[in-house]
Structure 1
């Protein structure tokens, strides 16, 4: 998982990237965080930064639970306890699931652009219709690199072209078959039942205009999570505040973590 431990301090922070990313999406905030914390960064096995193609088994990794087990194993291996877990996008729910299995590992969850379900239903706004999601799958299958370029421009604030380019390169490094398998796992997921089992304190961070996750999802999660939870709204476009509004994101970290 290309795990690295950087920084110093008594507290541990774990940074977990989302779909299409790798640990480099945290580069803007790492120098600041490593002055105060010991930080663990890593790449999920679907990432293009992981060189061994055999590590990703599409059947095993067709649910978030397999990823939560990998996270627990990584934390146990590094003897982490009572840590602050920062999960972006899909990783937010992976952290929630892991915290229900091993609450001793987590002091707090910081969930950035997380969602328990992406599909709309009668009583829930996830942000996507079934036809939207089927079209994404078709586009990944028919021309992955064109889709990756278009998707990056949609989900990262277009006023920050360097950040759009950075995510496009990360996403484009994924193997197309892995990108499709993971897209199906994520977009078909429904982890809403997990939320009421989460006892760890949570900070839910959401940008004002995120095409992937509506603001209403953050408030839905806050209502359902059993542990003490708060919603922090960042004035920013897109799904990647760590790239396009990193100082605002760090300001939230400072408030939440007591600096």
Structure 2
């Protein structure tokens, strides 16, 4: 499935008694492709690494691509989700850095969707030398409105979302998936619904609360890596003004790549458009 590089990396990690080796198995880590440079693809809430399936072929020739599942994903055994540990995004950062250490990655390009964009930002603050560039898709440091800051949601609206998730998770997914996908792409809605349904509802709700309660505006200036904010023209979860906010506040040189499509999940709804944008982001030099 992942080619030889994946097996070699995992077996060498196991052979050296590396404590991160189990994590590679738990989070379904794969390394595919044959390039010299390392590209990490990290998915967002409600999906798993399969969200990258239609983007991956564009990069396998030129990169070694690291894929993994966030611990909250439905593709991971829910017994591994520790409700005490994953109360903030820092625990997800620990996982990402542990994976890269286990695979002996010392420099990489990082692509993070939604909550993983924030995980990447925190990881790059902690280990600046590890990240050559951050590409942030549908990123938001704060989803809630706050004074002059327009995150897109009022607290009361979010509480209604949480109540709906708790009352009838299946009905909530059926309503939320088309809104999030945005574009009229039924296959993408089906795919996003599938991975949302795979999540255990209590974990899904817990992670949603964690994401919506997080506020990373205060640390953006600590990022030193160059960043590209990839934003669709219309995203129900993230207003375009948030992309501008990120550009103005991230500490590294930051550009915005505004895609002329809609939806929060362009890797599902418009994979070739997103892949072309990612190639642009990876090849242009910001230093």
TM-score by length of 2: 0.88
SS class of match (1:133): helix
Q: Does 1:120 align with 2:145?
A: yes
Q: Which residue of 2 aligns with 1:35?
A: 61
Residues 236-251 of structure 1 correspond to what in structure 2 (within 5 A)?
Answer: 236-251=261-276
Q: 1:116 and 1:59 mapped to 2: Cα distance?
A: 22
Q: Which residue of 2 aligns with 1:132?
A: 157
For residue 34 of structure 2, the aligned residue among 3, 8, 13 is 8
Q: 1:157 and 1:126 mapped to 2: Cα distance?
A: 18
Q: Which residue of 2 aligns with 1:44?
A: 70
For residue 257 of structure 2, the aligned residue among 210, 217, 232 is 232
**Contact 2:182 2:236 (8 Å CA) reproduced:** no
Q: 2:89 and 2:260 mapped to 1: Cα distance?
A: 29
> How far does residue 256 in structure 1 lie from its aligned partner after superposition?
2.0
Q: 1:98 and 1:250 mapped to 2: Cα distance?
A: 23
Q: Which residue of 2 aligns with 1:73?
A: 98
SS class of match (1:94): helix
What is the CA deviation profile of residues 14-60 of structure 1, one whole-angstrom value per residue up to 9, with x for unaligned ones?
00000010001001111111111100001011000012x22111221
Q: Aligned-pair RMSD on alpha carbons? A: 1.0
TM-score by length of 1: 0.98
For residue 58 of structure 1, the aligned residue among 74, 83, 86 is 83
Q: Which residue of 1 aligns with 2:192?
A: 167
Q: Which residue of 2 aligns with 1:83?
A: 108
Q: Which has the larger radius of gyration?
A: 2
For residue 217 of structure 1, the aligned residue among 242, 246, 259 is 242
What is the CA deviation profile of residues 90-136 of structure 1, one whole-angstrom value per residue up to 9, with x for unaligned ones?
00010000001111211100000010000001110000011110011
> How far does residue 158 in structure 1 lie from its aligned partner after superposition?
4.2
For residue 174 of structure 2, the aligned residue among 149, 152, 155 is 149
SS class of match (2:187): helix
**Contact 2:135 2:281 (8 Å CA) reproduced:** no
Uncovered stretches (5+) of structure 2, i.e. residues with no partner? 1-26
For residue 176 of structure 1, the aligned residue among 195, 198, 201 is 201
Structure 1 residue runs of 4+, over 4 Å off?
none
What is the CA deviation profile of residues 42-90 of structure 1, one whole-angstrom value per residue up to 9, with x for unaligned ones?
1011000012x22111221110111111111111010112200000000
Query: May I ask how many residue pairs the two structures share in their alignment?
Result: 258
**Contact 1:158 1:164 (8 Å CA) reproduced:** no
